[in-house]
Structure 1
């Protein structure tokens, strides 16, 4: 941006409107190799978005692995949607297993119902295929 005749060069500013200042700072810290663990954990969803947007595969994989570690009823639906959106197969499988195999969708039935009403149809189909697969095993 700064090496071509773009407005960023003229103004010496890059506007990143889809990221908070704190998340942007964490992103820059990651890029320069000095991010602290707590900042990574706090901003990992924003870092995942940035990694996907700017095609930074090692950061995307680090976020993917980190998001696998603490799936719970408070974050499973958001993580499932992010797994689908950012093509994170391990996270998607783990979230579906958490919901279906371990029966956690019954613990968050109201949120799950809203998810079914608003999520991508393909993702909903995958969840129901997992439900059928598990029920078939009984």
Structure 2
């Protein structure tokens, strides 16, 4: 809310016992009018509550006195006792939700500001009196007219990959070429940073790097994530069941690539999506992958799936646990521990 006009008002001292006796429920006492942001304001205090439902509490409101305010005023305000310094900190005040005041909505506040009994026993009370502080800030007209556009940095960086302008390194993956920008890769991946600028630096004078043991479509998805920070969609033209199996396989390869290049967000996105592909025929493969790449969350989901008696029966009938017994005996021990716990 900047630019803005702000003000701090300290309300007069109040005697709780006297005000309770002389001001019934539904009635209030008011501060003198004051000006902030070119408008007149007033603080209203109802010592016995504004409504019958709040008769056991004190009510406190900020009121707009100007009548012809057709365009809503965006206002931040906060009430505190004068000794509540933590609520008077600028960071605390900036975090308060702005409210709209106008001729149709002329007051905001607290129906149950504080229980009367609690107020009478509180340390805020000095000689049966206390002081209320009101901080408020009113946005100016200029501020309301300024529209800040949404961030476009993601679109601009992703356009670098599409346009290939300024690329200074080429990767060859399964006979396909991918042009990229060293600085972008290094900023996103510590592994790429070491490979392109550190002691692991690879490539010839022509800045060509060969990537082994990875499919081109997986590396393409990896690059897309690096430039967009989103998980790429996989285009599948098969039936639902076969397409689901293909997507699961693709996600497994992409997760392995994410782990290889230390892209933790991509790795987590793949983990989360793979959870939806866990089934009788795939759970052991996904479990082994989770163990290999230290995906504790994905591993736990696999364990919970296997623990279900019906699922375990089908997996055992299909000899699904034999592969784990051979390749990852530690997983079998963990699974047994899960059953016995």
- What is the TM-score of this pair, normalised by structure 1? 0.80
Higher mean C-alpha displacement, 2-11 vs 56-65: 2-11
CA contact (8 A) 1:105 1:112 kept: no
Q: Deviations over 1:37-71 (max 9, x none)?
A: 225x4622122111111111111111111111221
Deviations 1:73-127 (A, max 9, x none): 1210011111111122221111111112243122122332422431322211001
- The count of corresponding residues between Structure 1 and Structure 2 is 132
Tell me if the contact between 2:290 and 2:299 (Cα under 8 Å) persists in the aligned partners.
yes
Q: 1:69: which partner in 2?
A: 276
- Please state how far the C-alpha of 1:16 moved relative to its aligned partner: 1.2
CA distance in structure 2 between the aligned counterparts of 1:114 and 1:75, rounded to whole angstroms = 14
Q: Report how far residue 10 of structure 1 moved.
A: 2.5
Structure 2 CA distance for partners of 1:35 and 1:128, relative to 1, 3 Å: closer
Aligned equivalents of 1:2 and 1:80: distance in 2?
A: 33
Name the structure with the higher helix share. 1
Q: Tell me how far apart the structure 1 counterparts of residues 281 and 296 of structure 2 sit (CA, whole Å).
A: 20
Which of 90, 108, 112 aligns to 2:320? It is 112
> Which has the higher Rg, Structure 1 or Structure 2?
2
Pairwise mapping of residues 13-24 of structure 1 onto structure 2 (< 5 A)? 13-24=208-219
**Selected match of 2:255 from 33, 39, 48:** 48
The 3 A distance-change label for structure 1 pair 100 and 86 is: same
Structure 2 residue aligned with 1:131: 339
More strand by share: 2
Distance 2:323 2:264 in 1: 28
Indicate the RMSD between aligned Cα atoms, in angstroms.
2.4
Q: Deviating runs (4+, > 6 A) in structure 1?
A: none
Q: CA deviation at 1:7?
A: 5.3
Q: Residue 214 of structure 2 aligns to a residue in which SS? A: coil
